Structure 1
């Protein structure tokens, strides 16, 4: 949800240092910088038990989906950056009600080479858990690990790891995110007393209709992620890094994303978004735990988030509760119950069942952040949304994402 679609609040400038207000509606393009081309922009993260998406699937596998390159036009080939690392990071959680530490126990990393004459990019995969790291360039049957070109069936790469294996897809897919972003800004301005009070139109306009994204999907055995533990809850987030232009041989993180519409929905100032994109959720954990240095560095960002939440109708007690529920920004998944963004909350009020491809995360988030004042945007995956638009049917098997437009 990071279609860096700069949703302008009709030229309104809030009293936040005189800075113009915009929000990325999910994560489509938040935090502009000189380093980030569109191929380096995250849009959404999805994590779910495969059995919940496909009852015929083998029990015990998790699916991770990372979407990048927002607003990719139909029938146009787009590529992953050859100068970046794309990563899913995860940590094992002993108590689903505990605050996230933001410290990873493992990761899946993807690096891409230049495309060949067929439009396929070779992929180098690095998988790490419990201190054991393996880097692979070939599938279980010795073939190159490759992306899927635009005009082909999904290429599924089966990669052997220690005590198991994963299946990997990378290529263009239809963007599954949906949201009436224009009307959101009108509604938000009304709630903040900065414009007329309006509701969402019905049906709403889906601003992602017709667009594609570059997707990375991984199917991994739960047993591999547990790594000998009995953990049933996991925190997941995704990052993109590039070679550090100032430190030879080191990598610079420039993107981070977990839950939809958290950092990019509550943080307005571009420099603040870049700051959060450059650090891990462990930084936010330090702030919440009262670390003096982290708290001092984050004070302007926390103040901005609090101001936005106040404008959306929350008092200070509720603001504090929301900060504790949605930060640190990780996607928590408790695999003991069915996956779904609204399926369960822990004692902190945080969603703990991951996110499915059709989950209406915007309706859920709007209701929470506005303290129930906004019920939804009247846009759905199936539609019909305004103009009769709707998303294509999901595939019945991995990688599940709909074919590209």
Structure 2
């Protein structure tokens, strides 16, 4: 399989922490409304004291239920970047790219390129999983990783229209209470990529979060083939 050069990371979202959450719904200028738009990125332990780490990348927010079972974009590479020495440059990457109804995963492996340009690390396959439809499908690899790709309910609660009204000066009363707010993303899905990997594949965490728990410094990019 030929290595494919991918240029211009068109979606970027940072996360530093094993149990922190970041969100970026429909406001990244260069990827807004495209299949490369990153909605959320999560990194966490599946249970306290676990020897595994779970990474979740949600793409394409506001996917309506009747449109939820479309395909991922085969021109888009999703890359989870992991900094192991604290310099905020990726030392390991986990990559995911769809082909013919399956999501193929590569890594964790040292990348040949850093920054916004990437190459698919085809010499370091992690495994593959059939892209889910109405039924969730998971795959477990020989080295203990668990893989998933497909539509999931958007877990982000946000009154997007009231937010726009507030920042636009059109809501003198400010934000609504929790009982009054309308969840713009209720009933909407995202296209999710999930990988759970043993920490032995990631090395020793070099950072710490606000609770002084050891964490990996990690962020996600989407890159489109040129």
Q: Deviations over 1:225-252 (max 9, x none)?
A: 11xx4643311111111122xxxxxxxx
Q: Deviations over 1:70-89 (max 9, x none)?
A: 11111332211011111111
Report the RMSD for the aligned CA atoms in angstroms: 2.7
1:69 is displaced (CA, Å) by 1.4
- CA spacing shift, 1:207–1:230, aligned 2, 3 Å: closer
1:36 is displaced (CA, Å) by 6.7
Determine whether 1:31 maps to 2:28: yes
Residues 2-401 of structure 1 correspond to what in structure 2 (within 5 A)? Answer: 26-33=23-30, 38-52=34-48, 59-76=50-67, 77-93=69-85, 101-114=87-100, 121-130=101-110, 134-136=123-125, 139=127, 145-149=129-133, 151-152=134-135, 154-160=136-142, 164-189=143-168, 194=169, 197-202=172-177, 203=179, 204-226=181-203, 229=204, 231=206, 232-244=214-226
Question: How many Å separate the matches in 1 of 2:187 and 2:156?
Answer: 11
Give the number of the structure whose residues are more often strand, by fraction.
Answer: 2
Q: What SS does the corresponding residue of 1:171 show, helix, strand or coil? A: strand
Question: How many Å separate the matches in 1 of 2:171 and 2:64?
Answer: 34
- CA spacing shift, 1:29–1:199, aligned 2, 3 Å: closer
- CA spacing shift, 1:196–1:177, aligned 2, 3 Å: closer
Q: How many residues align?
A: 186
Give the conservation status (yes or no) of the 8 Å contact 1:29–1:38.
no
1:37 is displaced (CA, Å) by 5.6
- CA spacing shift, 1:131–1:110, aligned 2, 3 Å: closer
- Gaps in structure 2 of 5+ consecutive residues: 1-21, 113-120, 207-213
Give the conservation status (yes or no) of the 8 Å contact 1:90–1:106.
yes
Give the number of the structure whose residues are more often helix, by fraction.
Answer: 1
1:159 is displaced (CA, Å) by 2.0
**How does the TM-score come out when normalised to structure 2?**
0.72
Question: How many Å separate the matches in 2 of 1:112 and 1:173?
Answer: 17
Bigger Cα Rg: 1
1:165 is displaced (CA, Å) by 2.9
Give the conservation status (yes or no) of the 8 Å contact 1:106–1:128.
yes
- Gaps in structure 1 of 5+ consecutive residues: 1-24, 53-57, 94-99, 115-120, 245-405
Question: How many Å separate the matches in 2 of 1:196 and 1:86?
Answer: 38
Question: How many Å separate the matches in 2 of 1:234 and 1:184?
Answer: 32
